[in-house]
């Protein structure tokens, strides 16, 4: 099988077809382009076109559309916080008062320095927060700032002892 016709995904062709049935704005070529960009965000449109056996214009047009509709949300280097001296393995579980505006509290938290991501979750706690802070003092400042938000009842801090897997790509 040539490089151009090889099915590149981790999932089977049937699984991909099932995924694509649920959405009307993507097709297999779009997913292949997304896959290639996830594997090498610096790949040129020319390289992607050659690999997929399509024109550079097709890649360019589709990437533009994928950006416009929010499938591709940006391009950036994935930086290991701990390699630049930051403390990365800090997760906070934030418990809110009943009937609190979870999204509003989450947005306040999202704007604090050192906050990598905020997730609204179902379970005992309402928000899961991932920190990448420069110092222990900065971690404490973030935790204290979150604790001062009106609807916050409790903040539980966790430190990961070992990262086993962290994947930033969607496993298509």
What CATH number is given to the structural domain containing 44? Answer: 1.10.10.10
The answer on pLDDT for 1 being more than 50 is: no
Q: What percent of the chain is modeled with pLDDT above 90?
A: 63
The answer on pLDDT for 5 being more than 70 is: no
The most confident of 24-28, 53-57, 79-83, 165-169, by mean pLDDT? 53-57
CA atoms within 13 A on the CB side of 166: 10
Residue 3 CB-density burial (10 A; 0-12 exposed, 13-18 middle, 19+ buried): exposed
Q: How many C-beta atoms surround the C-beta of residue 37 within 10 A?
A: 19
Looking at the structure, do residues 154 and 87 belong to the same domain, yes or no?
A: yes
**In the predicted model, what is the mean pLDDT of residues 46-58?**
96
The answer as to whether 166 is a domain residue is no
What is the per-residue pLDDT for 12? 83
Contact 152, 96 (CB under 8 A): yes
What is the per-residue pLDDT for 165? 85
Contact 158, 91 (CB under 8 A): yes
Looking at the structure, do residues 99 and 57 belong to the same domain, yes or no?
A: no
The answer as to whether 54 is a domain residue is yes
The answer on pLDDT for 84 being more than 90 is: no
**In the predicted model, what is the mean pLDDT of residues 71-83?**
86
Looking at the structure, do residues 110 and 63 belong to the same domain, yes or no?
A: no
What is the per-residue pLDDT for 8? 66
User: Quick one: residue 6, left, alpha or beta (phi over 0 = left, psi -120 to 50 = alpha)?
Assistant: beta
Distance CA(149)–CA(155), nearest Å, equals: 11
**CATH number where 155 lies:** 3.30.70.920
Looking at the structure, do residues 118 and 57 belong to the same domain, yes or no?
A: no
Q: Mean of the per-residue pLDDT values for the chain?
A: 90
Contact 66, 30 (CB under 8 A): yes
Looking at the structure, do residues 48 and 90 belong to the same domain, yes or no?
A: no
What is the extent of the structural domain holding 48?
Answer: 13-68
What is the per-residue pLDDT for 92? 97
Looking at the structure, do residues 85 and 153 belong to the same domain, yes or no?
A: yes
Looking at the structure, do residues 145 and 105 belong to the same domain, yes or no?
A: yes
Last residue of a domain, one of 40, 68, 96: 68
The answer as to whether 27 is a domain residue is yes
User: Quick one: residue 53, left, alpha or beta (phi over 0 = left, psi -120 to 50 = alpha)?
Assistant: left
Looking at the structure, do residues 48 and 97 belong to the same domain, yes or no?
A: no
The answer on pLDDT for 4 being more than 70 is: no
Distance CA(153)–CA(165), nearest Å, equals: 31
Distance CA(114)–CA(28), nearest Å, equals: 37
Distance CA(150)–CA(37), nearest Å, equals: 42
The answer as to whether 172 is a domain residue is no
The answer as to whether 168 is a domain residue is no
Q: pTM of the full predicted structure?
A: 0.73
What is the per-residue pLDDT for 161? 86
Q: Which of 10-14, 95-99, 101-105, 168-172 has the lowest mean pLDDT?
A: 168-172
């Amino acid at each position: 099988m040539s490089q151009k016709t090889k099915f590149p995904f981790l999932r089977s062709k049937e699984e991909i077809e099932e995924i694509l049935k649920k959405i009307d704005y993507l097709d297999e070529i779009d997913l292949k382009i997304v896959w290639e960009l996830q594997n090498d965000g610096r790949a040129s449109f020319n390289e992607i076109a050659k690999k997929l056996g399509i024109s550079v214009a097709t890649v360019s047009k589709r990437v533009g559309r994928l950006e416009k509709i929010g499938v591709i949300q940006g391009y950036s280097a994935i930086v290991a916080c701990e390699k630049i001296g930051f403390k990365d393995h800090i997760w906070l579980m934030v418990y809110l008062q009943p009937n609190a505006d979870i999204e509003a509290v989450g947005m306040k938290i999202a704007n604090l320095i050192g906050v990598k991501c905020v997730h609204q979750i179902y379970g005992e706690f309402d928000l899961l927060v991932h920190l990448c802070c420069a110092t222990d003092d900065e971690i404490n400042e973030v935790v204290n700032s979150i604790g001062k938000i009106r609807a916050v009842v409790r903040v539980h801090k966790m430190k990961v002892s070992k990262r086993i897997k962290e994947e930033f790509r969607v496993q298509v």
